[in-house]
Chain A
Amino acid sequence: MFCRQQAAEFRLHQPELDALGVNLVFIGNGLPAMANDFIDEHHLTNPVWTDPKRASYRLLGFKRGWGSLLSPAVFIYGVKALAAGFRQRRTQGDPVQQGGVLVVKAGGEVVYAYTSATAGDHPKIETVLQQARLAATGPSSGRAAPGAV
């Protein structure tokens, strides 16, 4: 339900990211077939990758465990997501893994990082878009010399 909500939100703003020349990539943790279902269901045109071993989740320190699901905040996020029409479907992947968002300049400099504390804890889409604009307009890491015009 939360992932569906997040995918729908980003899909809505993909034209802006495309216009900025910013790649939008979703990374999940199920099998490639699950990624395909997800792409078809949400009519996604951006890359959807999967990390079944969750190595990237571990490297980034994303939370994993039932505590990240069973909190009062999750209940409130759930009520909001349900009110917006998003329903939980059969979970495809690790049910107790949390995610996050990175905004990275061309070349690899991170301008924004968000770790979800609980299910349904996502950064505001406006914040991510603002950071994407910065990443797109600022000098690329390792490309422009400091002070270059």
Chain B
Amino acid sequence: MTVDTNALGQLTVVDREGKPIAIGSAWAEKPAVLVWLRHFG
């Protein structure tokens, strides 16, 4: 699996308050473990 973190990092998701946030902010300063859940619940 190859991952284009440039493209991924620019994608915007939302935080718990509904504020947009770039996925790349997770690894901008520190290493990151990102877990994509199937769903909440």
Binding site for B on A (CB under 8 A): 2-4, 6-7, 10, 17, 20-30, 32, 34-39, 47-52, 55-57, 59-62, 88-95, 97-110, 113, 115-116, 119, 128, 132, 135-136, 140
Contact = CB atoms under 8 A, between A and B. Distances in A.
B40 A2 contact: no
A97 B31 contact: no
Interface residues of B, number: 34
B32 A49 contact: no
A55 B11 contact: yes
B31 A104 contact: yes
B18 A32 contact: yes
A10 B28 CA distance: 21
Interface in B3-39: 3-9, 11, 13-18, 21, 23-24, 26-39
A24 B36 contact: no
Contacts, number: 175
Nearest to A49: B13
Given A104-B27, A107-B27, A113 B3 contact: yes
Contacts of A3: 37-41
B16 A60 contact: no
A55 B12 CA distance: 9
Contacts of A140: 31
Contact of A109 (B5, B26, B36, B40): B5
Nearest to A118: B38
Nearest to A26: B35
